Amino acid sequence: MAEQQTFNVAIVGATGAVGQKIKQILEDKNFPVKQLKLLSSARSAGKEETFHGEKIIVEEAAPESFEDVDIALFSAGGSISKKLAPEAVKRGAVVVDNTSAYRMDKDVPLVVPEVNSEDIASHQGIIANPNCSTIQMVAALKPLKDAFGIGKIIVSTYQAVSGAGNEAVDELYEQSRDYLEGKEVTAEVLPVKGDKKHFPIAFNALPQIDVFEDNGFTFEEMKMINETKKIMHDDALNVAATCVRLPFAVSHAESVYIELDQEDLSVEDFRKTLKEADGVVLQDNPQEQEYPTPQSAQGKEEVFVGRIRKDLDNPKGFHLWVVSDNLLKGAAWNTVQIAQTLVERDWLKK
Amino acid sequence: MAEQQTFNVAIVGATGAVGQKIKQILEDKNFPVKQLKLLSSARSAGKEETFHGEKIIVEEAAPESFEDVDIALFSAGGSISKKLAPEAVKRGAVVVDNTSAYRMDKDVPLVVPEVNSEDIASHQGIIANPNCSTIQMVAALKPLKDAFGIGKIIVSTYQAVSGAGNEAVDELYEQSRDYLEGKEVTAEVLPVKGDKKHFPIAFNALPQIDVFEDNGFTFEEMKMINETKKIMHDDALNVAATCVRLPFAVSHAESVYIELDQEDLSVEDFRKTLKEADGVVLQDNPQEQEYPTPQSAQGKEEVFVGRIRKDLDNPKGFHLWVVSDNLLKGAAWNTVQIAQTLVERDWLKK
């Protein structure tokens, strides 16, 4: 047997919630790593981490960090990606970027491997990982779109605080403790760290994820709308989103309404198609109260679908409930899947 | 000045979450009560309550309890209403029923006073209070329907646990404490007390409110669909709902998509109409992060509307976010409003 090719891999944002998950998955999946570099801000540099039992010291990310790196997995915020991803590419690395920095760039493939892995082939050095709430929705809808055609999507999300980082999770738990003890609750992180006002998330719901655009939609909502069209290769697809932050740590849920191109389909047609879909798990038996929840999906790689119903008025309309771990399929796992595809299909060369 | 007419009022389910709020509102609004009777199950009978500073002993509800009662406000579950509301009517009382027992009965008006108070006039002794999640939605949409016409409604709800009673609120807080202390979490009440399985609500989301119907929708979802058509007097109206229980105690939020009968309307047209609407408060300034949340609406009578956006694809489509205290406008306050209308318009006589 030929010796397996191995690669120098860097994780940028290695101490963050998603960076930690990426390292774990590279280990769990036995990704062919020759050497792993863990990169972070100056503040986290010097921390000691382990990978396959070996110690690795976290280093401050700099342009020179990417010398000899084959694959760089970025998850440290858009401004870091904008600054350092081109430096990594210049030094010969292929970047899988988990921020919104390059997603809508026409030269950058935006990829959910179960949906459009072929797009990776045309990369110019950077491949973008979509927004977490987009990934799980397109993973669930693509097999349905291929089978039945989809013309319209209206989604309302139920999103976990970990999408806003570890700080937001700490804030949720601290506020929850204070609330239960009858203490005053203070808000400093959510809905958006850098925005003007902050509101409590504990025992509440905030209809704002990311900042507002001029059209009244939030940036998160526009990400879902624009990224879905790009990944699906369908600019004519109608997509609308309302994104809401909720008081749980992990997994996003989505109430999705779709209009198909054809009538006369049944819930069973949907179930059959989703049962055979890659990366999707059907959990849909109302009589046995079987449906996915944020807690039931936590820690799992797949996208879970339940509550499938035919609209009572529109014969082309269907409703479904889509849940997935936002840190895994929504971020770390999808990132590693892209890296796996790069390696397996020999697409690392530009 | 003529002496104000006063009435003998009974609250059935007086010790429950909604019953307690009804008593509070009758007091706060100086409802013209001659004598107040507090009725409950045998288990809660004997409890001492106060009303305008006077002691009232809670009595077990029985057919004879309604002798000399003018207005009976029922909020003790459907089976109690089915058993005792006809007994109250037989004895000359007018019943305002806060359960689902009579809502779809064609001889029973289903009323949100801001929307269809005129329907009260034709009552045969029983007037039904709609489901909490229906009330706030129709209160927000009726002025828009009158102004612009609405043909289609798709709603996804974000509902508080108090809709499932005090026990569910206790469960949320107990589970939250256990979760934060790293203890095992047990579930015995939600999603539905009498259903087969129970799941944790703390730091989770449950896409089931009430039991499942054969069509895959839950009874809560069918209530929103059928009650909206009845209150709006529009059987041709398309309505679809997905109802989700979330980990906060009070106020339901709703992500609502509507399709109007006309194009070319703007967000400002919506704001103008809602600003003038009875019982509705506009909270919609994205640039200042102004929008309602469950916590901001708690303890308030009105229905709050924000996040108004024009759909990016359909010129007749609009999105909005509707929040209201489910125990007040969604239950107790709407019940007392109906009673006020009965008295003010002299509609007590059948």
User: Are domains A7-130+331-344 and A134-326 of this chain identical in fold?
Assistant: no
Q: Tell me the two tokens of residue A241.
A: 């989103």
Q: Which residues of A touch B191 (CB under 8 A)?
A: 289
What is residue B103's three-state secondary structure? coil
* Out of B195, B244, B293, closest to residue A255 by CB: B244
Q: Which residues of B touch A206 (CB under 8 A)?
A: 293
Contact (Cβ atoms closer than 8 angstroms) between residue A8 and residue A35: yes
Q: Would you state the pLDDT for residue B350?
A: 65
As beta bridge partners, residue B54 has B51
pLDDT of residue A3: 67
Residue B11 to residue B18: CA distance in whole angstroms: 10
Please report the pLDDT score of residue A320 as a whole number.
Answer: 98
Contacts of A180 (CB under 8 A, 6+ apart): B173, B176, B177, B180
Distance between CA A93 and CA A96 in Å, rounded?
10
CA dihedral over B231, B235, B239, B242, signed as positive or negative: positive
From the first residue on, what is the mean pLDDT of each consecutive set of 10 residues in chain A (350 residues)? 84 95 97 98 96 98 98 96 98 97 97 98 98 98 98 98 95 98 98 97 98 97 98 98 98 98 96 97 98 98 98 98 97 98 92
Q: Chain B residue with minimal CA distance to A201?
A: B295
Residue B41 has a pLDDT of 95
Integer Cα distance of A270 and A149 in angstroms: 12
**CATH homologous superfamily of B134-326:** Dihydrodipicolinate Reductase; domain 2 (3.30.360.10)
Q: Rounded distance, CA B318 to CA B295, Å? A: 25
Contact between B227 and B110 under an 8 Å Cβ cutoff? The reply is: yes
Q: Cα–Cα distances in Å, from A109 out to A19, A21, A233, B337? A: 21, 23, 11, 57
Q: Are B155 and B141 in contact (CB under 8 A)?
A: no
B-chain residues within 8 Å CB-CB of A204?
248, 293-295
The segments of chain B whose pLDDT lies below 70 read 1-3, 350
Give binding residues of B for substrate as ranges: 159, 245
Helix residue spans in A183-293 (DSSP H):
219-232, 267-275
Q: What confidence score (pLDDT) does residue A4 get?
A: 82
Surface-to-core class of residue A151, CB atoms within 10 Å of its CB (0-12 exposed, 13-18 middle, 19+ buried): middle
Place of tokens 């840190």: A327
Which residues of chain B neighbour A219 with C-beta distances below 8 Å? none
Residue A198's Cα: distance from chain center in Å?
24
Q: Phi, psi at residue B34, to the nearest 5°?
A: -80, -55
Is B146 in contact with B263 (CB distance < 8 Å)? no
Q: How many whole angstroms from its chain centre is CA B174? A: 25
Stretch (H or E) spanning B180: helix B166-180
With both helix axes pointing from N to C terminus, report the angle between B17-28 and B333-344 in degrees, rounded to the nearest 10: 40
Cβ of B216 within 8 Å of Cβ of A308? The answer is yes
pLDDT of residue A349: 82
- Indicate if A252 belongs to the active site: yes
Binary contact (B205, A173; C-beta < 8 A):
no
Residue position matching structure tokens 């459009």:
A116
Q: What CATH class does B7-130+331-344 carry?
A: alpha beta
Residue B26: in which H helix or E strand, if any? helix B17-28
pLDDT of residue B4: 82
Contact B293 A207 (CB under 8 A): yes
β A150-158/A238-242 pair status: parallel
CB A223 within 8 A of CB A100: yes
Out of B176, B200, B242, the one facing A307 most closely (by C-beta) is: B242
> A216 and B180: CB-CB below 8 Å?
no
A44 marked ligand binding residue: yes
- Token pair 């309404």 is at which residue? A257
**Ranges of each domain in chain B:** 7-130+331-344, 134-326
Residue with tokens 């996040």: B307
Which residues of chain B does A152 touch, with a Cβ-Cβ cutoff of 8 Å?
A: 313
Count how many residues are written for chain B. Answer: 350
State the Cα–Cα distance between residues B162 and B143, nearest whole angstrom: 28
pLDDT, residue B46, reads 97
User: Tokens representing B340?
Assistant: 């006020």
Residue B216 three-state SS: coil
Q: Is there a contact between A255 and B246 if contact means CB atoms under 8 Å apart?
A: no
Residue A60 Cα distances to A72, A90, B271, angstroms: 14, 19, 50
Q: Which of A132, A198, A233, A319 is catalytic?
A: A132
Whether residue A132 lies in the annotated active site: yes
Question: Which residue, among B255, B269, B284, would best test binding to A if mutated, counting the most A CBs under 10 Å from its CB?
Answer: B255
Nearest CA in chain A to B320: A242
- The pLDDT tens digits for B32-64 are 999 999 999 999 999 999 999 999 999 999 999
DSSP assignment of B122-161? G-SSEEEPPPHHHHHHHHHHHHHHHHH-EEEEEEEEEB-G
